[in-house]
Chain A
């Protein structure tokens, strides 16, 4: 299963990256257990290292996790009959890999919200949770033995690029990323890493703009 391989690599890299950016093994383990979100953790590491204000770390965490709001909207029809504490738990444990396994299988299901679907999803998220925690803890332990001169924290940046690459598949997204990248580059001298917020605003606006331009051009043809 490619999803599982991705999860293993990703967990290891995140574990190593956390201890390489000066988190103690205990706080890295706590972060992995509670936050349980690779991209948000890797995003937060440079911010924590730079001593960025807490509100900015919170905002960055929210923005990177926004994709889960879309996922939640996709999953909602399958779980709306459940009690809210169960939905809270199912939601909190949701990860990309689980959704990627679940959606193609039950996308066209005539009845949404069956017991089989609930158990399938629970199995997927629990497997993901254990694989992630195990590999992440392995990474935390291994990280202590890797010398700093190997710059293994760069693997975390490469891993972030690896999440982005398959998603960059149309022109508006490319426009959005190039704009965000340019703003993020120019805005670096700004204090408190505020360039992050500026880049997100610029990236979102230019993406929506490019989408509108694209659509209008198609209409003209």
Chain B
């Protein structure tokens, strides 16, 4: 397992480096349409061929990976912080506060995510640049994805608040904020960290789902969602197997995240 984890970390580092260096590695601008050669097969000029509008697939893969791989962790960080704040306070306070916050969390969890995202996306301003739209999409994912993690954190915070070391800290006269800041949060950090890692592949998948529905990142900016959309029609894809490369990369990256996560979950 240790070897597998090292390989996973290596893959993630390599993929992250490749997409961060996309400006140098990409053989063509990701949005440029080579209209004379749409749907071209792989060649020296276009390593993964061109898409249906004649755009270089390899360049789009690099930039799409950058979008998904940078913004999914950002969204995961946002949702983990929200989950830590809401779940931590609820668990620490206990009693009526906890019941009320958890009832609100349950209500939030029962909302159909996809429809909520579609609705929120629909009321946002239309005239926004593609980069803004992608940030909005991931910010939405971050704002809406805290509830499940908040439940876990609340349960742990409750356990800690009743633990001996916290009782001892109270007995020595520590105030509420000091208890929270010095004693509770440091102990919740591994759980928050685990929630953060769990959320990354979830958000990547959600963006991919939104992209497949055509509601993700706006054209011409690529993302894994928009790249995976090309696989909708298997009768067309079957003649162009190189279109599976984004899917393979997607599976490899998400699997690598899970392997790395196993390491984080181990007791330290």
Are A and B a genuine interacting pair, yes or no?
A: no
Q: CB within 8 Å of A: which residues of B?
A: none
Q: CB within 8 Å of B: which residues of A?
A: none
